[in-house]
Structure 1
Amino acid sequence: MSASVAGVPEGARVILATHNAKKLHELQRILVAAVPGLEAEAVISSAGIDLPDAVEEAVTFQGNALLKAHSAAEATGLLAVADDSGLSVDVLGGCPGIFSARWSGRHGDDEANNDLLLAQLADIPDEYRTARFVCAAALVAPDGTEIVERGVMTGRLLRERHGEGGFGYDPIFLPDGEGRSAAELAPEQKDAISHRGEAFRAIAEHVAQLLG
């Protein structure tokens, strides 16, 4: 990477504290598009350097995002970015929330999570199936500086899966103002309206300042 490109110094790297390949591609795409001069190969995953997952023992999205980002920054000496995100369903009092990835009891089992949530809401009328995706994105520098940004995508839950894209609850989530599920949107369309897109575009501004 050239040191003369938009002020990003040569050799600068950012670590995304995730082992989730689909999430990595999404967050990498957003950061590279938002930070002038930041090239794709400069955005690396904690999985790529064999860092263990941080224990997500906080009780908020922000807390868990900060735990992961601090762990990665301390272990690597790099600028670290992490997110914690999930689905908040109004009729369930905000659940699955921080338990979204393991709602069915098995972490990262998207199919089981979707099956369970659809079953739990089977008798709920459409007007009460409102929900929102929430994302807390954390940026931590090697000197301990920390910044958190938040993003929200509102919508409602469908009664069956639609679309093959995205991941998690995307196939059963209809964003407000859309006629397609989040899983039916092109990546760029989803980035433009998603909770993660909103949070990481805000974080990207701080990444650009710190790298500069």
Structure 2
Amino acid sequence: MTGSGTTVTAGARVILASHNQGKLRELQRILAAAVPGLEEGAIISSAGLELPDVLEDAVSFEGNALLKAHSAAAATGLLAVADDSGLAVDVLGGSPGIFSARWSGRHGDDEANNDLLLAQLSDVPDEHRGARFVCAAALVAPDGSEVVERGEMPGRLLRERHGEGGFGYDPLFLPEGEDRTSAELTPAQKDAISHRGTAFRAIAGHVARLLS
């Protein structure tokens, strides 16, 4: 099926609307594991496809996820899944929030974002460094129908980076009940407890129903 001059993979039925490669790997892995019988090649990513740029100007994770999913569904004629996620820090009133990826001023600069967050929290004692990762996952069908699911992963922020895995703020984030940061967990361990894993396992049920 084509849309707006874009050719998608033969047999593809679900598109993940994201250009973040770390996020794409997570979403593909979670969705493939959660939807029984989903055939190989049924999930594709928007990376490399000439889809319209989306201005993420909503004021919530849910709103931005829906903007991206609606745009991808309209452009391709496929079921579209998108998410918007970020870090909410208690003492910052829930910030960086929807601005997490560009907290330092340049989108996707993980090192700069982490450096700025550490500087902002430098005087905050350990007992007040609570935070949570939040994910809103949206599924939009070609007819415009939509559903959104939300997941959260509570924890706290450390004073220095630990671990080489993951992306974003993972090296600073210690999930509740864990003695390893998100960046020190294996992909399977992270999927089992993460905000994105929770949201996308919930979305997967809707995907399975629509594909059946």
Q: Structures share a fold, TM > 0.5? A: yes
Q: One-letter code of the match for 1:103?
A: W
Aligned twin of 1:132: 132
How far apart are residue 117 of structure 1 and its match? 0.0
**Counterpart mapping for 1:6-25 below 5 A:** 11-25=11-25
Between the aligned partners of 2:173 and 2:52, the Cα distance in structure 1 is 31
Mapped contact 2:52–2:75 kept (Cα < 8 A): no
Q: Aligned-residue CA RMSD in angstroms?
A: 1.1
**Counterpart mapping for 1:79-98 below 5 A:** 79-98=79-98
Between the aligned partners of 2:40 and 2:32, the Cα distance in structure 1 is 6
**Counterpart mapping for 1:36-51 below 5 A:** 36-51=36-51
Mapped contact 2:12–2:43 kept (Cα < 8 A): no
Structure 1 residue ranges, 4+ long, deviating more than 3 angstroms after superposition: none
- Matched position secondary structure for 2:154: strand
Q: One-letter code of the match for 2:105?
A: G
How far apart are residue 13 of structure 1 and its match? 1.5
How far apart are residue 49 of structure 1 and its match? 2.0
- Matched position secondary structure for 2:205: helix
How far apart are residue 211 of structure 1 and its match? 0.4
Between the aligned partners of 1:171 and 1:150, the Cα distance in structure 2 is 23
- Matched position secondary structure for 2:48: helix
Aligned twin of 2:170: 170
- Of the structure 1 ranges 91-100 and 11-20, higher mean CA displacement relative to structure 2 is found in 11-20
**Counterpart mapping for 1:58-137 below 5 A:** 58-137=58-137
Aligned pair count reads: 203
Aligned twin of 2:206: 206
Between the aligned partners of 1:82 and 1:197, the Cα distance in structure 2 is 13
Structure 2: tracts of 5 or more residues without a match: 1-9
- Matched position secondary structure for 2:19: coil
How far apart are residue 40 of structure 1 and its match? 4.5
Between the aligned partners of 1:99 and 1:48, the Cα distance in structure 2 is 24
How far apart are residue 195 of structure 1 and its match? 0.2
Q: One-letter code of the match for 2:157?
A: L
How far apart are residue 51 of structure 1 and its match? 1.4
Between the aligned partners of 2:48 and 2:188, the Cα distance in structure 1 is 25
Between the aligned partners of 2:57 and 2:21, the Cα distance in structure 1 is 22
Mapped contact 1:54–1:71 kept (Cα < 8 A): yes
- Matched position secondary structure for 1:87: strand
Mapped contact 2:74–2:142 kept (Cα < 8 A): yes
- Matched position secondary structure for 1:152: strand
Between the aligned partners of 2:53 and 2:148, the Cα distance in structure 1 is 20
Tell me the TM-score normalized by structure 1: 0.94
% same residue? 81
Between the aligned partners of 1:116 and 1:81, the Cα distance in structure 2 is 31
Kindly tell me: are residues 189 and 40 of structure 1, through their superposed partners in 2, closer, same or farther at Cα, counting changes over 3 Å? farther
Mapped contact 1:88–1:95 kept (Cα < 8 A): yes
How far apart are residue 50 of structure 1 and its match? 2.2
Mapped contact 2:12–2:41 kept (Cα < 8 A): no
Mapped contact 1:18–1:53 kept (Cα < 8 A): no
Mapped contact 1:12–1:211 kept (Cα < 8 A): no
**Counterpart mapping for 1:23-42 below 5 A:** 23-42=23-42
Q: One-letter code of the match for 1:167?
A: F
